[in-house]
Amino acid sequence: MNTNKKTARMAGLLYLIYIVVSIFANVLGRSKLIILGDAATTARNIIASALQFRIGFVLDLVSAVLFLLTAWALYVLLKPVNKNLALLFLLLNLGGVAVHCISDLFLIASQLLLSGADYLKVFQVDQLQALAMLSLYIYKYGFLGIAQIFFGAWLFPLGYLVFKSGFLPRFLGVILMVHCVVWLMSALQFFLFPGFIGITFVGITYLSYPIGFISEFGLSLWLLIMGAREQKPA
């Protein structure tokens, strides 16, 4: 097996594992337990499912490491096409992963606030629940806001290099670049109009789902199954 194909399949495998782990992290640690705006219910959920919450937290960290490793493998694969652009998408990914991991600290902080530890007895129960909810909102703005700007931006140089590579499908490169634009629009709207839920917001948000599935899941499957030809970049 040629070097390009080995590197491509490693990148595809890491990308696919990252996608699966991040889905499990969301299901276990967030979607079923956290109800933003309802501090009391969320507190009860986190206390009742403490182990599940911690498993979700650990999976979230594992997914961040896997995403960075994926970016590294893609950097090795696409560096011959354009080293500067490959380094750019690697650094953008690293920035997003760093914000992701820092945001995760607020996930575990919310559970610590609800742990019933002796040093927290100076606070009332409703105060601890409010502080835990504040931690979850900070996590939301860090991971679902700031980190997504980096994770959206890295897709454009990645898509451009896929398009120019000559050994990966051009249509995947185009979809990745389109996905970058849609993702950044969604992330910026998250900050600029946090309380606005309208046709435009819903359209941008739900448009990003199929584009993201086709571009990222499609790229991971192509790399894993087809690999990449050993040839000079176009």
Tens of pLDDT along 46-55? 999 889 999 9
Q: In the chain, where does DSSP find H-type helix?
A: 3-26, 39-48, 50-78, 83-113, 125-141, 147-153, 155-165, 170-192, 199-212, 218-225
Confidence of residue 5 (pLDDT cuts 50, 70, 90): confident
The closest alpha carbon to 79, from 18, 177, 138, 3, belongs to 3
User: What is the DSSP secondary structure assignment for residue 66, as one 8-state letter?
Assistant: H
Q: What is the pLDDT of residue 231?
A: 55
Inter-residue contact 102 to 117 (CB < 8 Å): no
Express each pLDDT in 80-131 by its tens digit.
999 999 999 999 999 999 999 999 999 999 999 999 888 998 999 999 999 9
Listed as own residue / partner, the contacts of 94-98 with beta carbons closer than 8 Å and 24 or more positions apart are: 94/68, 95/150, 96/67, 96/147, 96/148, 96/149, 96/150, 96/151, 96/154, 97/64, 97/65, 97/67, 97/68, 97/147
Mean pLDDT taken over the chain: 86
pTM for the structure as a whole: 0.86
Q: Which of 96-105, 127-136, 203-212 has the lowest mean pLDDT?
A: 203-212
Q: Give yes or no for residue 1 having a pLDDT over 60.
A: no
Cα gap 222→176, rounded to integer Å: 14
Q: Give yes or no for residue 228 having a pLDDT over 60.
A: yes
Cα gap 32→184, rounded to integer Å: 27
Confidence of residue 234 (pLDDT cuts 50, 70, 90): very low
CA dihedral sign, ordered 161, 11, 149, 185: positive
For residue 37, what are its two tokens? Answer: 């705006």
Who wins on pLDDT, 68 or 216? 68
Q: Which of 19-33, 116-130, 153-167 has the lowest mean pLDDT?
A: 19-33
Q: What is the mean pLDDT of residues 125-142?
A: 93
Q: What is the pLDDT of residue 125?
A: 92
Cα gap 111→54, rounded to integer Å: 9
Longest Cα pair distance anywhere in the chain, in angstroms? 67
Q: What is the mean pLDDT of residues 20-43?
A: 86
Q: Give yes or no for residue 145 having a pLDDT over 80.
A: yes
Who wins on pLDDT, 197 or 83? 83
Q: Break the chain into its structural domains and give their ranges.
A: 3-225
Q: What is the pLDDT of residue 183?
A: 86
Cα gap 55→66, rounded to integer Å: 16
Q: Give yes or no for residue 135 having a pLDDT over 50.
A: yes
CA 8 to chain CA mean position, Å: 21
